């Protein structure tokens, strides 16, 4: 490495250190806004967050920084492999934002923040019309950002997808989702016609917040979440936040008549957090946390849904937590057997709320959102009446129609910040089905689950799944992890075998 390259790298790292500080502060403010910020303080706090974001953006627009980063990109073959990943990400960000001024970036930030505030109001009132104008503004802002970008994609929606799942095209997702839909919808019909009766009377027995908090803490301990580097609290829409290397926070929610919602919410978020706590420390030293496209959303969702579903809903894990769950919730599980608990946690029943959906129907919730997003972005969908399209899709795919906007189109926060994220939830299911099969070949996974040996499980994940997630694009990464090309087959076979056995169908 020449002295010139060393100096350029020093300049780039120095600027990113400052940007990281702004982003740390923004993350703390965002966490506060979604947890304990008073309602009337929301908009002002959002404006402060937007200001900090604009300042961070301004630093990355500095001419000396851009010139150094672009020069490093040209000489990237001479760099350390991790610095090569970083400068490739910076180059992509440069192409995306070189025509966006700090003033325009602030305008975009305010649009997204106002959309979030309006979504909260609309959701509270169960009135989509209060959110529709902001959703239109979000679409227009995102389309403007795509037009200003110097990256080229077949469609604007492909550009939006690339922000969340780089290297994955709409054409590929169309193909994968059509296979999923064509196999899952008929199989769901068989499940619904099955004579199998799963006991559910105990699912809505009342529990206290204190009991749910105790259960969440127990589950985080079981999964080896490091409380010296994390914390948890409650929010409307659970999420994981990651202000810094030693600060990875999770949230959950408590419903007095749905004790299981908190169980799987906290396991899901812990899956995200374990990546944050167990990724290689060198990632931070080389500022890979500042390379936003890696890990992709699909990779990250594969982590969370691996812990939530592949492990958390397994017979072995249910057996592991059943005795403690019975102690914490005696009024719920006192007369419930372990087998009844397992079956109820794997109940298949079409429902309205994506985050509460069973493992089988969840992917159909995602496909509905994906199809609607394409309508919004590519076909000029009537946004004022988008709730009607939403309801038709739910009837077509799941055989149910939402009674109101709160349980329909207003249930998710994601569209307040744009489009392209939703398909990654389903893509994550497909990734983890592939690496689950490799993991099962290399270790006694059922035995580790029965024993609660998450040191062994997390160690395998850290070495084989987490290690390259921030360093390789997803198609290369899944080949590295599994030795195979990306496919939906593992996931679909898993669903058909598991739920075929549970419901006695083929």
Q: 242 near 28, Cβ under 8 Å? A: no
d(CA 418, CA 409): 15
Residues paired with residue 234 on neighbouring β-strands, in sequence order: 252
Contacts of 146 (CB under 8 A, 6+ apart): 153, 156, 159, 160
* Alpha carbon 127 to its chain's center: 26
d(CA 262, CA 207): 11
Concerning whether 308 is annotated as a catalytic residue, the answer is: no
Q: 404 near 126, Cβ under 8 Å? A: yes
Region class of 224: left (phi > 0), else alpha (psi between -120 and 50), else beta: left
Which among 350, 332, 352 has a CA at the least distance from the CA of 340? 332
Region class of 444: left (phi > 0), else alpha (psi between -120 and 50), else beta: beta
d(CA 183, CA 496): 9
Tell me the CA distances in angstroms from 136 to 46, 108, 129, 141, 324, one per residue in order. Answer: 19, 13, 11, 9, 48
Which among 410, 300, 268, 421 has a CA at the least distance from the CA of 353? 410
Q: 188 near 194, Cβ under 8 Å? A: no
Burial of 407-422, coded b for 16+ CB within 10 Å and e otherwise, reads ebbbbbbbbbbbbbbb
Please report, in angstroms and rounded to a whole number, the separation of the first and last CA atoms in the chain: 61
Q: 263 near 245, Cβ under 8 Å? A: no
d(CA 410, CA 387): 9
Catalytic residue among 3, 17, 172, 269: 269
Residues labelled catalytic: 269
């Amino acid at each position: 490495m020449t002295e010139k390259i060393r100096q350029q790298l020093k300049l780039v790292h120095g600027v990113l250190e400052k940007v990281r500080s702004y982003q740390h502060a923004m993350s703390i403010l965002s966490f506060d806004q979604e947890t304990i910020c008073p309602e009337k303080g929301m908009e002002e706090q959002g404006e402060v967050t937007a200001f900090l974001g604009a300042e961070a953006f301004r630093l990355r627009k500095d001419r000396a920084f851009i010139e150094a980063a672009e020069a490093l990109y040209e000489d990237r073959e001479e760099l350390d492999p991790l610095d090569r990943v970083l400068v490739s990400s910076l180059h992509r960000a440069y192409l995306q934002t070189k025509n966006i001024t700090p003033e325009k970036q602030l305008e975009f930030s305010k649009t997204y923040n106002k959309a979030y505030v309006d979504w909260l109001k609309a959701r509270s009132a169960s009135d989509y019309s209060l959110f529709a104008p902001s959703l239109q503004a979000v679409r227009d802002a995102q389309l403007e950002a795509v037009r200003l970008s110097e990256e080229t994609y077949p469609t604007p929606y492909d550009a939006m997808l690339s922000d969340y799942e780089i290297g994955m095209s709409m054409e590929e997702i169309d193909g994968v989702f059509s296979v999923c839909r064509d196999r899952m919808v008929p199989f769901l019909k068989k499940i619904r016609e099955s004579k199998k009766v799963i006991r559910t009377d105990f699912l809505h027995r009342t529990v206290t917040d204190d009991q749910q908090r105790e259960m969440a803490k127990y589950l985080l301990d079981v999964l080896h979440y490091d409380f010296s580097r994390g914390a948890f609290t409650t929010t409307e829409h659970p999420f994981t936040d990651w202000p810094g290397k030693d600060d990875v926070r999770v949230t959950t929610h408590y419903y007095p008549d749905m004790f299981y919602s908190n169980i799987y919410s906290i396991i899901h978020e812990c899956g995200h957090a374990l990546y944050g706590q167990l990724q290689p420390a060198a990632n931070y030293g080389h500022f890979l946390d500042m390379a936003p496209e890696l890990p992709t959303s699909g990779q990250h969702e594969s982590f969370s849904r691996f812990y939530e579903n592949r492990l958390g809903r397994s017979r072995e894990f249910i057996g592991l937590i059943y005795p403690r769950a019975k102690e914490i919730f005696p009024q719920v599980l006192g007369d419930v057997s372990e087998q009844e608990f397992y079956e109820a946690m794997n109940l298949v029943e079409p429902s309205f709320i994506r985050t509460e959906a069973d493992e089988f129907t969840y992917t159909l919730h995602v496909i509905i959102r994906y199809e609607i997003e394409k309508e919004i972005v590519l076909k000029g969908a009537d946004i004022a009446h988008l709730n009607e399209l939403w309801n038709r899709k739910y009837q077509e795919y799941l055989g149910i129609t939402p009674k109101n906007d709160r349980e329909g189109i207003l249930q998710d926060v994601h569209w307040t910040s744009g489009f392209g994220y939703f398909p990654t939830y389903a893509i994550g299911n497909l990734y983890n089905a592939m690496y689950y099969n490799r993991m099962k070949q290399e270790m006694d996974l059922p035995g580790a689950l029965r024993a609660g040996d998450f040191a062994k499980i997390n160690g395998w994940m850290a070495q084989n799944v987490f290690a390259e997630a921030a360093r390789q694009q997803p198609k290369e990464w899944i080949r590295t992890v599994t030795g195979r090309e990306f496919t939906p087959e593992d996931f679909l076979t898993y669903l058909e075998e598991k739920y075929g056995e549970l419901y006695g169908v083929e």
